[in-house]
Amino acid sequence: MTPADWLQLLNLVGKCFGNRLHHFIPAQTIPNRPLRWTVIFLQILLPLGKKSLGLRLLHTLEQMGPVYIKIGQLLSTRPDILGMEVCLALAKLQDKVDPVANLDIRTEVEKSIGRADAFLSIDPKPIASASIAQVHQAKLQNGTSVVIKIVRPNIEVKINRDMTLLIHLAKYLDSRFTMVQRIHLPRIMQDHLDTLLLELNMFSEARNQIQLRRNFAESSLLYVPRLYAQFTRNNMLVMEQISAPSIGNVAALQAAKVDMRVLAHKGVETFFTQVFEHNFFHADMHPGNVLIDVSDPSDPMYVALDCAIVGSLTDEDKFYLAQNILAFFHRDYRKVVDLHIRSGWVPITTDPIAFEAVIKAVCEPIFAKPLSEISFGPFMGELLQTASEFEMEIQPQLVLLQKTLLYIEGLGRQLYPELDLWETAEPFMQRWAQRNLGPMAVITELAERGPKLLSELHRLPQLLKDDGQMTLRLELAKQNYEIKELHEQLGELQRKRRRGVFVLTVIVACAVLFGANWVNRAGSGSDLGSLLPLVFSAN
């Protein structure tokens, strides 16, 4: 990290302490005694004051800029982690961030599309404002109500500045801590920067919105607003206006007598459909981006806004993920272990019996329970401890999916705490398995790949030979892993030896100096060299 990075980091830390965010730290739970007393001292030295922690966190994230506002949007959906009071304060970050001051929206629109007569009217006051863009109501020349989404000016500079710091910090931590290396933090931060920069590109968002609308064209699960592509520019897009309550406005949904059970079940099915059927999922589903069509309260429909961030999985990752979910539904924890080892998500040297026992201990308490009975914080703590114990690595390509799951699970808690995720998701996954893993899937696969298989038939003996050597390759991989561990242990022994020599040298030097002083004080003519054997024999 450069000196400029350190200065920027100190500035962020200063803002956190200035806004008293250290009061979020539960000092009594810190096992390290000096650190625990340091936190207690800081909390006494810098008291909380009258302003609530939620408002303090809100103002801090707003001051820090768009990168940190995105974090606040995710946290705003997790009252089980931060508490309802804090989440209510952070809800402002979903669509009520302070808009750009003195922005002449009509001038910006005319400058972007190169004409002044495209819109009959544009409301200068935004109806929504978030970290990247703000939204204004408008009317087309034919009177159609639309909304204009326009990117905040100069936002790219702020995002690059803040993300450069986080990437440098991630690399610094990655070079020093094994746990961080397993998380692949530098790649995650780089991927996050790439995702944020895509959010600035309205052409990219427009493509995503058109694709998502096409995927759910005949569905009663999700509605995606129509896009007016002729007005799309790099920094703005125009879509139909939808009048519906936000999913975060639970009071409005209850007043409309929405069937919350149906809504929650549809949410789970919508998520699994996007991931496993379409392999194209909305990855920014905080309440500011999700409305509910309440025209039929008994059969409500989701409305997806802001399609800037979408995700997809490779066929291999989707296969392993689906297999893991199905094995979990069947409580087949041994299969979960085998899948993790085969996919490379844990080292090949993992003890399968020990790993299975830990997974069972973590998962059994939450199996077949509604969200209201699952304590997310302790569960995540146990998962992190398991990941550390078995050197499980975070898969960066799955981070967007994991983030989306956090949103979905958080929203489910608020809408319908009695939701049983397993009961809702299992029928969908069973149907998926029949189509993709059953006999018909094999026949379809053979039909699609038949010509290629015939062209490769002459390689069959070599392929069988290669398959027979799989055990050998696994053994070699295990030996390489053990050799690497031996090298690390040898290096650690050498470092300890060097430290021991250094400490011994210091002890000897101190002993010699002490001996010299003793001789001088005694006033005798004793030979100093005669003391050295005593010093060495004592060590």
Taking phi first (over 0 means left), then psi (-120 to 50 degrees means alpha), and beta for anything else, what does residue 225 get? beta
Tokens of 335: 């299969």
pLDDT in tens, 267-290: 989 998 999 899 999 988 888 889
508 band by pLDDT with thresholds 50, 70 and 90: very low
Instruction: Out of 144-158, 176-190, 411-425, 510-524, give the one with best mean pLDDT.
Output: 144-158
- What DSSP string describes 187-208? HHHHHHHHHHHHHT-HHHHHHH
Structure tokens at 112: 């972007």
pTM over 0.95: no
pLDDT tens digits, 344-382: 778 888 888 988 898 888 888 777 677 777 766 566 666
- For the chain, give the mean pLDDT: 79
So which residues are the catalytic ones? 284
- The pLDDT confidence band at residue 536, using thresholds 50, 70 and 90, is very low
- Spell out the long-range contacts of 343-351 with Cβ–Cβ below 8 A and sequence spacing 24 or more: 343/316, 345/320, 345/392, 345/393, 345/395, 346/390, 346/391, 346/392, 346/393, 347/390, 347/391, 347/481, 348/474, 348/477, 348/478, 348/481, 349/478, 349/481, 349/482, 350/390, 350/391
Write down the pLDDT at residue 207. Answer: 95
User: What's the residue count for the chain?
Assistant: 539
Position 518 confidence tier, pLDDT thresholds 50, 70, 90:
very low
Q: What's the chain's Rg over C-alpha atoms? A: 30
Half-sphere exposure of 276 (CA within 13 A, CB side): 25
CA dist 270 and 428 (Å) reads 10
Decide: residue 479, CB within 10 A, 0-12 exposed, 13-18 middle, 19+ buried: exposed
Question: What does the pLDDT look like over 440-454, one tens digit per residue?
Answer: 555 555 555 556 555
When pLDDT is averaged across residues 31-57 and rounded to a whole number, the result is 85
> How far, rounded to the nearest angstrom, does the alpha carbon of residue 56 sit from its chain's CA centroid?
23
Q: Do residues 238 and 146 lie in contact, with contact meaning Cβ atoms separated by under 8 Å?
A: yes
β-strand pairing of 301-304 with 222-223: parallel
pLDDT tier at 244, thresholds 50, 70, 90:
very high
**φ, ψ at 245 (rounded to 5°):** -70, 150
Tokens of 240: 């139909």
DSSP per residue over 454-480, as a string?
HHTGGGHHHHHHHHHTHHHHHHHHHHH
What is the reported pLDDT for 520?
45
DSSP annotation of 371 = G
